Amino acid sequence: MIRRSLWVTLVTSLSTFLLAGPATSAESLQQVMKRRGLSQEDLLAAAKTYVPTGGRDEFVAFSSGGQSGHVIVYGIPSMRILKYIAVFTPEPWQAYGYDEESKAVLAQGRMDGRDITWGDTHHPAISETNGDYDGQYLFINDKANPRIAVIDLHDFETKQIVVSPVFQSEHGGAFVSENTEYVIQAAQYAAPLGGEYSPLERFNEDYRGGVTYWKFNREKGKLEPENSFSIELPPYSQDLSDFGKLASSGWSFTNSFCSERYVGGIERGRPPFEAGCSAKDTDYLHVINWKKAAQVAAAGKATKINGHDVIMMDTAIEEGLVYLIPEPKSPHGVDVSPDGKYIVISGKLDSHTFVYSWKKIQDAIAAKDFVKKDPYGIPIIALETALHTQVPLGLGPLHTQFDSAPGVAYTSLYVDSMAARWDYVNGKLLDRLPIHYNIGHLMTMHGDTVKPRGKYLVALNKLAIDRFNPVGPLHPQNHQLIDIGGDKMSLLRDMPLPLGEPHYSVAIEAGLLKPAIRYRVGTNTRTGEISPHKTRAGEEKIERNGKKVTVHGTLIRSHITPEIIEVDEGDEVTIHLTNLERAQDQTHGFTISKYNVNGSWEPGKTATVSFTADTAGVFPFYCTEFCSALHLEMQGYLLVKPKGYKAKVGELMPKEQYDQEDYEKQVATNVATQKTIDGVVSYITGRNYRQFATAAALFEDAAEQLEYAAEMKAKAEEEAANGNWHSATLWAGQWWQYQVKAADLGLRAKTHLEQAGAGPAM
Amino acid sequence: MIRRSLWVTLVTSLSTFLLAGPATSAESLQQVMKRRGLSQEDLLAAAKTYVPTGGRDEFVAFSSGGQSGHVIVYGIPSMRILKYIAVFTPEPWQAYGYDEESKAVLAQGRMDGRDITWGDTHHPAISETNGDYDGQYLFINDKANPRIAVIDLHDFETKQIVVSPVFQSEHGGAFVSENTEYVIQAAQYAAPLGGEYSPLERFNEDYRGGVTYWKFNREKGKLEPENSFSIELPPYSQDLSDFGKLASSGWSFTNSFCSERYVGGIERGRPPFEAGCSAKDTDYLHVINWKKAAQVAAAGKATKINGHDVIMMDTAIEEGLVYLIPEPKSPHGVDVSPDGKYIVISGKLDSHTFVYSWKKIQDAIAAKDFVKKDPYGIPIIALETALHTQVPLGLGPLHTQFDSAPGVAYTSLYVDSMAARWDYVNGKLLDRLPIHYNIGHLMTMHGDTVKPRGKYLVALNKLAIDRFNPVGPLHPQNHQLIDIGGDKMSLLRDMPLPLGEPHYSVAIEAGLLKPAIRYRVGTNTRTGEISPHKTRAGEEKIERNGKKVTVHGTLIRSHITPEIIEVDEGDEVTIHLTNLERAQDQTHGFTISKYNVNGSWEPGKTATVSFTADTAGVFPFYCTEFCSALHLEMQGYLLVKPKGYKAKVGELMPKEQYDQEDYEKQVATNVATQKTIDGVVSYITGRNYRQFATAAALFEDAAEQLEYAAEMKAKAEEEAANGNWHSATLWAGQWWQYQVKAADLGLRAKTHLEQAGAGPAM
C-alpha cells in the first residue's frame, strides 16, 4: 500500500524543514540597483516608504472614490490600499445592498421615489474634537445626488445616508465644525430650492444656491435632519467650504464660481458654460456666521421647505449672517489656517493664491465697511480690505493644506502640474515640485486641522497618462507621495488608484483609529443593535407561516446550519444568519446559486437575505469566504419543490457505508493528529505567547476548536458504544475536522511567535 | 487696483522657480533605516520592488476578485493595483451596468429570468497560443452562478457572459487549452443536469457533475455556445481542472472532492458535509480525452439538454473518453507540468503532494489496466499504477505552479501557512517559506504555461489578521510577493487586497499586453462595432417622437453639447453621447442629478443612457471625470416641465452684460497668454520631443486645442466687427479657454521632457 497515514509525519516535517529565519538572497544591494536601474534617490525613496511584513503604516488616509461611490482607505507611507468602503454603490464583498440590513441604509438615499445605485463621492471629513481629528466617524458627500453619508470608524461601515431636502446637486461637503456640531453641504449648480420647476429664463429670479448645516449627534452617530438648517444663497454655484477654527470659530467660508450667473447653450449658438462662467476676474467668497444662523433658525425665523428650515436670503442679510468678498476667478479650495487667522483661496484661472485676513474681515463687518451689495442685497467687503497678501505660486492653483511648521502651506497647481510649498504669512514661495499630471486636491497629515502633523504630502492627480503599465483607454488616477520633512520636497512614490476617481482625502495618525475586530454576537451592524434574529448554536430552526418560510441559521468553521432547506415553489424565503465566530478575520459568506442571494458575515454579525423561490430545482448554497481547509465543504442545498410534486421513494445514502474498521482507522488518525497538536501546543506554551496579542488570540481560538473536537469525540464514542459504526465514523471525522482547525491555528500562532522573536515562557 | 493681469507672469514664474531636478533630502539612507527600523534585508526587498515614478512593472497579474465580482489587475514587483475590471457586478466608474451597451452584456448573464447583480469570480485564464500566454483575452468564472465571462485585453472591458445550460454551480474554470480552442468549466456541487428538481434521496441516481468545454472563436473574441459541449460525470463535486499540454495535449484533468457522495444535515442530527465529505482517504482525478470528446459530440452522439450537447456517461465510457484515478483527499489544484509529462495534485487533507506520470496513465489506458469501475461504470486506474512519486511537503497542500528551472515547482501549504519549493521529478523538498496566513492558491510568472518565467512567486493568502493597519472586522486579504531568483525563497512585500477575495491569479510579461489608448470615433465598446448613434461635432441634435425624446450629443474638454435639454414630465429620454477626444486619458463622465443616470466615455466611445423623466423640475448634469481646469463648468441642465405648465415670460440673461472694454480686456489677456504658450512651444520644439511618445502626444493634443482657439478667435472677431460686444467677449472667453488647455498640455509635455532628460532638437 503506497498510501500512508496522514498528518503523522507532521512533527518530523516541521523539525526538519522549518527555517530558522528569513532567507538571504545571493544578489547584493548594488547588483539589484544596477539590474533595476535605481538611483541612490530611488533607493532612499524606497526605504522611506517600504513597510516590512507585519509592519504598520504611520497614517491612514480616507479618500473619496469619485464615481465609484466608495471611500478608499490607504496607508501612508506605503501607499497600500487597505479597503474600499461601500457608501452609495451596492458592493457584494461587503454585502452592501445585498443583505436586508444594508439595503435599509441605501434606501435612506432614495430620491423622488427612485433607487440611486451609485454616487459621486468627493470630500471626506473625519470627525473632530477641539479642531483635530478624533477618528470616530467619517462623512462623505455625493455630488451627483445631493446626499451625505456617515461611516462609523468603529467598523468602517456606512450607517446613514441623508438626502438634501432643498438642493438638486451639491459639491462643497462634507466638512465639519471644530467639535463636529455640524457637517456642511453647499449646493453646486443652482436650481429652484426644494425641487420646483422653473424655466432658465427665470434663472436670476428663481434659481438659488445655498449651504446646509447638518446637525450631528455624536452619541447616536447620526445626522439629525430635524435639527439641521440651510441658508438660501444667490445662484453663484457655491463650491467648497471650510469651517473657521480657533480665531474664526463660529464662522464658515464657502467659495463660488460662475457668479456671472451665465447659462450656456452651445446647441443654440451661445458660448458654452465654460466661457461664460469664467468671463469675470473674480467670484465671491461667502462668509457665514453659522453659530448665529443656528440661533436664528432655532428662533423660528426660518422658512420650511420640504419640512426643512431654510433661512431665506432677506433674513440672512437682516440678521447679519452672510457677507461676500471677491475672490480669484473659478476657485476651488477655501482653506482656513490652523490658527484660524487666515483664509487661503486659489482660483484655478488666476496665477496668484490669495490670503485673506480674518481680522480684517471681522473689522470690516464690525465697521460695516462694505463697498456695495450684490444683486440680492448681500453686503460685499472689498478684496483690498480683506486681503492679507497674494502670492504668484504658479498656474491653476486649486487647493491648500497646511504644514506642522507655522505659516507653511502647500498648494496644488493644476495647470502647471506642480505642488508649491510657500509661506502664507509672509507671502513667499519656498519650493515647487513637478507632479504627474494635473494635480487636483492635495493632502497633508491632519492638514486641515488645528494641528497639522507635517511629514508627508499627497498629490491627488487627475491623470496618469504614461505613469503605469497601460490598462486600456480608462486609466487609473495617480496619487503621489511627497516627503516634506526636508528642506526641499522630494517625490517618494506613485500610487495608481484602481477603481474610481478620488477628489479629496484626509489622513489621520494611525494610532487614533481604534476599529473593532468582532461584534457582540447577534449584532445588526448597520444599526449597532442586537438583531431580533440573533441565533445561538443549537437554536437554528426553519419555520413556515403560509407561504412564508423563515430560517434562523448559524455559520461557523466550516458548516452552515441548517444544511438542507426545503421549500415549495413560490414560497417567500427569509434567511437570518448569525456568524458564531469570535476569532479575528473569521468572516463567512453565504450564497445560493442562481438566486442572486449573497451576504457577508463578520464575527458576531447577524444579517438577513430574502428571496421568492420562484424557480423549482436544486440550488447549492455555500460559504463564499475561504474559512478553513474544509471551506469548499461548507455547503448545503436549497430544494425548491415544483408545484404539485409527488415525492419518489428513496433513501438518503446507504446507512452502513462505514464499518468498525473505518471507525478505528479514523480514531487512529485522530490520536496521531492529537500528538501533533500537543507538540505545537507545547511549543507555544513554552514561549511567552501571552505577550503577543495575535498569537494569544490564535491560541485561544485553537483551544475553542479543541473543545468542539472533544464534543465530537464524545458523540463518536457514544455511537461506537452502540455499535452504530457508520455514524460513529462520521462523527469521528468531524472530531478530526476540529483538530485540523486547531492545528492550523496553532501553526499560525507558532509562525507568528517565531517571526516575532518570542522568548521562553515566564 | 490690487488685481493684476493673469497668466502674464507665467514665463517669469517658470524661469524663476522651475527646479532643475529632483530635490535631495538631508536625511541619509542610514538615518532613514534607523528611524524606520528597517533591516538590510528589508532594504534589499524594498529595492527589489520599488518602481520609480514613470517606471513599468515587469509582469502584470490578473487576479479574481472573489465575491466582488471583479477582476483585479496589479503590477509585479511593485504590487500596485492598476485596475478593477467589472465583470459580473455593476460598477459605476466604468459605467458597467449603467450605460445601455454594458447593461446588454450583464443581461447575457441573467438566469431563470432573474438579474444576477454580482458574481463569485475564482479562476482567471489568459488566452494561449502554443501553450503560452498571448495577452489577447482573459476568461473568468462565476462560482455562485455557473457562468464564464470574456474580457478583451485590448481595452480591459468585459465583452461577453455565457450561462451554463446544465450546471447549478461550478468552480473548476476557467482554464484554456493550448491554443484556446476551449475554455473548461467544471461543475462543483452536484445537482440534476439542466436544472430539474429531484429530492436528495435520489442523489446517487439523479444528481450529476460534469465538465463543459466552451468553444472559443478567437477572431470574434466570443465563446460559442452552439459549438460547445459537456460531459456528464458522477456526483463527485468536480473541482479544479487543467488542460494537458505538449505530451498530454488533447487531454484534460479535473479533480473532485466528496466522492463519498455524502449529504450532510446537521439540523437533522447528521454530521455536517465537512465530516462526511472527507471520510475517505482518496477522491477521484478525472482524466478526459477532450479532443476525442469533441469528435464524439460533433458526430451527433451527444444528448441535448436545454439545447446544449451533453455526452452522457454511458457514451463517454463506451467511447473511452473518461477515466478515474484515486487522488489525495479533498484536493484543490491539479497542475500539469510545463512539458505535459506530470500531473501534480495536492489534497488539502493529506501531507503529501502526489505526482502522476502521464506516460504511466497513457500506458494504463492503452493496456486497459484498470483495477475496477466506479459505481457508474467509469474505469479506475490504480493510484500505484499512475503515480510517479509522492512528496511530504507539509500540511494542507493546495495548489502548484512551476518555475523556469526544469523540474522545480511551488506548492502552497494551507494548514502550515507555507510555500514549498520542490523537485517534482526527483521527489525532493528544496525549501519552505512561512506565509501570513493560510495561503490558498499561489502564482508564478506564466506558471501554468509551457514556458514559466521564474523570478517571482505570489502567495494568495486568505487571511490578513495582524498584517496591516486594522480596518474593522472585515479584513483585506494578503498577497505576498516572494523572490524565487535565489537559492532560497525570500519574502519581498505584503499587499493588502482592498476589495473582494482573490482566489487565483495569472501573471503575464508586461510587454505581451498591447492595450489601446483610444477607440475609433463612435465605437460601441462592448461590441467593438461603430455605434449607429456615433455623433460628430456639429451633428448634435435633440429629436422628439411622441413621448420619446432622443438626444445625440458630444463630449469634449470642457463642454457637453447640448447644454440644455428640455423635456416634458413623463417623456422617455434616451441620450447617446460620443467622446470626441483623441488624447490619451481624456475620459469624460456624464450624470444627471437625482435621475440615477451615469456613464463613462473614454476617447472615441459612444454610449447611451436612458430614463423616464417622471419627476418635474430642474436637474443639473455635469461631467464626472476631472478633465480640465474648467471641468466644474462642464455642466448643463435637464429641464422637466410639469404636465400642463404654462411658460412665464422672461429673457435668458441680460444680453448686453459685456461691453467693448470687456472685450478688449479679454483679448489683451489672450494675447499675453499666447506669448506664454509660444514660450512653451519654443521650449518643446527646441528639444527632440518626437522621441518621447508621451510628450509628442501631448504636444499634438495642444496643437489641436490651439486650432479650436483659432476658430473661437474668428467667431469673437466676427461678433466684434458687428459691434456685438457681449457675444464677442464670451467667444473671446472661449478662445482663452482653449488657450488654457493648450498651455496645460504644453506644460505637461515640458515637465515630461525635463524629467526624461530630452536633448536638443535634431
CA-CA distance, A25 to B431, in Å (whole number)? 13
Q: Is B612 on the interface with A (CB under 8 A)?
A: no
The verdict on whether omega for the bond into residue A39 sits within 30 degrees of 0, i.e. cis, is no
Reduced DSSP (H G I as helix, E B as strand, rest coil) percent helix, strand, coil of chain B, to 5: 25, 35, 40
CA-CA distance, B429 to A19, in Å (whole number)? 13
Give the three cell numbers for residue A610. Answer: 430574502
Q: Which residues, including other chains, have CB under 8 Å from residue A652's CB and lie 6 or more apart? A: B200, B201, B203, B263, B265
3-class SS string, B96-114: ECCCHHHHHHHHCCCECCE
> What Rg do the C-alpha atoms of chain A give, in angstroms?
31
Q: Which member of A195, A463, A737 has the closest CB to residue B585?
A: A463
Q: What's the farthest any 2 CA atoms get from each other in chain A?
A: 101
Q: Write out pLDDT tens, residues B533-572.
A: 999 999 999 999 999 999 999 999 999 999 999 999 999 9
Among B residues 273-292, those touching chain A with beta carbons less than 8 Å apart: 273-279, 281-282
Give the three cell numbers for residue B225. Answer: 455556445
Q: Is B757 on the interface with A (CB under 8 A)?
A: no
> Does pLDDT of A134 surpass 60?
yes
Contacts B436 to A, Cβ<8 Å: 53-54, 751
What are the E-state strand segments in B299-368?
303-305, 308-311, 322-328, 331-336, 342-347, 353-357
Q: ipTM beyond 0.90?
A: yes
pLDDT at B22: 45
- Are the beta carbons of A17 and B274 separated by less than 8 Å? no
CA-CA distance, A319 to A353, in Å (whole number)? 31
Cβ neighbourhood burial of B201 (10 Å; 0-12, 13-18, 19+): middle
- If you average pLDDT over residues A474-479, what whole number do you get? 97
A706-712 long-range contacts, CB within 8 A, separation 24+: A706/A677, A706/A738, A706/A739, A706/A742, A708/A738, A709/A735, A709/A736, A709/A738, A709/A739, A709/A742, A712/A737, A712/A738
What global pTM score does this model have? 0.96
- Are the beta carbons of A486 and B27 separated by less than 8 Å? yes
Q: Which residue has the cell 490669495?
A: A354
DSSP per-residue letters across B692-726: -HHHHHHHHHHHHHHHHHHHHHHHHHHHHHTT-HH
CA-CA distance, B334 to B354, in Å (whole number)? 10
Return the residue in B633, B646, B736 with the most chain A beta carbons within 10 A, the one to mutate for interface testing: B633
Q: Is A658 on the interface with B (CB under 8 A)?
A: yes
Low-confidence ranges of chain B (pLDDT < 70): 1-25, 648-649, 654-655
pLDDT at A210: 98
Q: Which residue of B has its CA nearest to A170?
A: B593
* Torsion from C-alpha of A662, A667, A673, A678, nearest 10 degrees: 180
A310 CA: distance to closest CA in chain B (Å): 19
Q: Which residues, including other chains, have CB under 8 Å from residue B153's CB and lie 6 or more apart? A: B126, B135, B136, B137, B138, B513, B515
CA-CA distance, A216 to A224, in Å (whole number)? 6
Helix (H, G, I), strand (E, B) or coil at B610: strand
Among A residues 170-209, those touching chain B with beta carbons less than 8 Å apart: 171, 188-189, 191-192, 195-205, 207
Helix (H, G, I), strand (E, B) or coil at A142: strand
- Distance in Å from the first CA to the final CA of chain A: 47
Give the three cell numbers for residue A350. Answer: 488666476
Q: Which member of A82, A270, A474 has the closest CB to residue B94?
A: A474
Q: Is B43 on the interface with A (CB under 8 A)?
A: yes
pLDDT at B655: 66
Return the residue in A193, A273, A480 with the most chain B beta carbons within 10 A, the one to mutate for interface testing: A273
Q: Write out pLDDT tens, residues A222-247.
A: 999 999 999 999 999 999 999 999 99
CA-CA distance, B617 to A192, in Å (whole number)? 8
The answer to whether B402 touches B448, Cβ cutoff 8 Å, is yes
- Are the beta carbons of A80 and B468 separated by less than 8 Å? yes
- Number of neighbouring beta carbons within 10 Å of residue B198: 18
Q: Write out pLDDT tens, residues A252-281.
A: 999 999 999 999 999 998 999 999 998 999
pLDDT at B509: 98
CA-CA distance, B254 to A248, in Å (whole number)? 70
- For residue A430, CA distances in Å to A225, A336, B18 come to 45, 20, 12
DSSP state of A75: E
Q: Which member of A9, A33, A473 has the closest CB to residue B516?
A: A473
Give the CA angle between residues A332, A338, A341 to the nearest 5°. 85
> Does pLDDT of A711 surpass 80?
yes
Task: Give strand pairing partners of A600.
Answer: A589
Q: Are strands A132-142 and A125-129 parallel, antiparallel or unpaired?
A: antiparallel
- Distance in Å from the first CA to the final CA of chain B: 47
Contacts A571 to B, Cβ<8 Å: none
3-class SS string, B122-191: CCCEEEEECCEEEEEEEEEEECCCCEEEEEECCCCEEEEEEECCCCCCECCCCEECCCCCEEEEEECCCE
The answer to whether B49 touches B75, Cβ cutoff 8 Å, is no
- For residue B582, CA distances in Å to A348, A473, B120 come to 25, 10, 36
- Mean predicted lDDT score pLDDT of chain A: 94
Q: Write out pLDDT tens, residues A382-403.
A: 999 999 999 999 999 999 999 9
- Are the beta carbons of A747 and B463 separated by less than 8 Å? no
Choose among A42, A74, A81, A41: nearest CA to A59: A74
CA-CA distance, A349 to A414, in Å (whole number)? 10
Q: Is A108 on the interface with B (CB under 8 A)?
A: no
The answer to whether B351 touches B395, Cβ cutoff 8 Å, is yes
Phi/psi of residue B316, each to 5°? -60, -40
pLDDT at A7: 44
Cβ neighbourhood burial of A499 (10 Å; 0-12, 13-18, 19+): buried
A292 CA: distance to closest CA in chain B (Å): 31
Q: Which residues, including other chains, have CB under 8 Å from residue B184's CB and lie 6 or more apart? A: B172, B173, B174, B175, B176, B177, B211, B212, B213, B214, B241, B243, B252, B254, B290
Give the three cell numbers for residue B587. Answer: 475620459
Q: State the count of interchain CB pairs (< 8 A) between A and B.
A: 818
- Are the beta carbons of B516 and A472 separated by less than 8 Å? yes
pLDDT at B762: 74
Return the residue in B274, B468, B541, B597 with the most chain A beta carbons within 10 A, the one to mutate for interface testing: B274
Among A residues 137-156, those touching chain B with beta carbons less than 8 Å apart: 143-146, 154-156
- Number of neighbouring beta carbons within 10 Å of residue B94: 27
pLDDT at B42: 97
Phi/psi of residue A539, each to 5°? -100, 10
pLDDT at A650: 74
Task: Give strand pairing partners of B608.
Answer: B576
Contacts A67 to B, Cβ<8 Å: 92-93, 589, 591, 598, 600, 624-625
CA-CA distance, B141 to B163, in Å (whole number)? 10
Q: Is B357 on the interface with A (CB under 8 A)?
A: no
Return the residue in A73, A274, A385, A680 with the most chain B beta carbons within 10 A, the one to mutate for interface testing: A274
- Number of neighbouring beta carbons within 10 Å of residue A425: 17
Choose among A611, A586, A567: nearest CA to A741: A586
Q: Which range (A168-177, A206-215, A339-348, B749-758) has the least confidence? A: B749-758
Q: Which residues, including other chains, have CB under 8 Å from residue B559's CB and lie 6 or more apart? A: A264, A266, A272, A273, A274, B633, B634
* Torsion from C-alpha of A336, A337, A343, A347, nearest 10 degrees: -80
Q: Is B121 on the interface with A (CB under 8 A)?
A: no
DSSP state of B343: E
pLDDT at A458: 98
Q: Which residue has the cell 448554497?
A: A621
Q: Is A720 on the interface with B (CB under 8 A)?
A: no
The answer to whether A86 touches A158, Cβ cutoff 8 Å, is yes
Q: Write out pLDDT tens, residues B220-244.
A: 999 999 999 999 999 999 999 999 9
pLDDT at A219: 97
